[in-house]
Amino acid sequence: MTRLEELYPETPVPLDHKDAFTLLVAVLLSAQCTDARVNQVTPALFALGDTPEKLARAEVAEIEKVVRSCGLGPQKSKAIQKLSEILVAEHGGRVPACLESLERLPGVGHKTAQVVMAQAFGVPSFPVDTHIHRLAARWGLSSGRNVTQTERDLKSLFPQSAWNKLHLQIIFYGREHCTARGCDGTRCEMCRTLFPGRKPPPRKR
C-alpha cells in the first residue's frame, strides 16, 4: 500500500525491548493494554530480571506488583515466571525461533508468537490483532469474521516481503487516523480514497 509507505517509511517496534526475550515479555504484557503503559512498566520489570534465568527465580508476587497496572496482573505475572522457567529448562535460556514452540509457552498466543517471529527473528509473519482485523474489514481487504480468516486473507493479498513492515504500518495508521471511534469508515483519508461513495452508518438512538 503505497500511501502507508509514504506515511510510515520507518516502522520502529512500538514496545521498548533489547532482545527477543524482553520483546516476548513486552508483547505478552500488551494484551488488553496500551503500548505506552507497557513501556512505562517494563523498566521496573526488567530491573527485576531481564533474562529468563533471572525472572524464573523471581517471585510471582514480585512480578505482579510491577505489572499490575497493565491489567490481568495475576495471569500475566504467572505466565512470565513460568515461561521463563520453561525457556531455561527446555531451550537453554533462549527464546526459540519457532512459532509452534512459542505458542506452547504460557500466556503466548498466536498473535504474540507471530510478533516475536517477525520483529525478533525477521521471519515473514502477519500478526493480526483486533485493530488490524477491524481495518482490514473497513478497507475491504477481508470479510473474515475472526482474526484467523483475516490473517489468511492479508497473507494472500500481499507478498511475504511486505508482511513484517505492513502490519506495523496498518497499526500506526489506525491509531493515528482510523480509530474505532474517530472514523466510521468515511472520515479518514484511506477510507475516503478507497470508498468515496460510502455512506456513514446510521446513528443509534
Active site residues: 111, 129
Spatial separation of the C-alpha atoms in residues 139 and 143, rounded to whole Å: 10
Q: Sign of torsion, CA 102 70 127 143?
A: positive
Closest C-alpha to 68, from 57, 56, 80 = 80
* Cβ 64 vs Cβ 73: under 8 Å: yes
Query: Hey, what's the cell of 1?
Result: 500500500
* Cβ 165 vs Cβ 11: under 8 Å: yes
* Cβ 181 vs Cβ 187: under 8 Å: no
Closest C-alpha to 3, from 127, 151, 186, 139 = 139
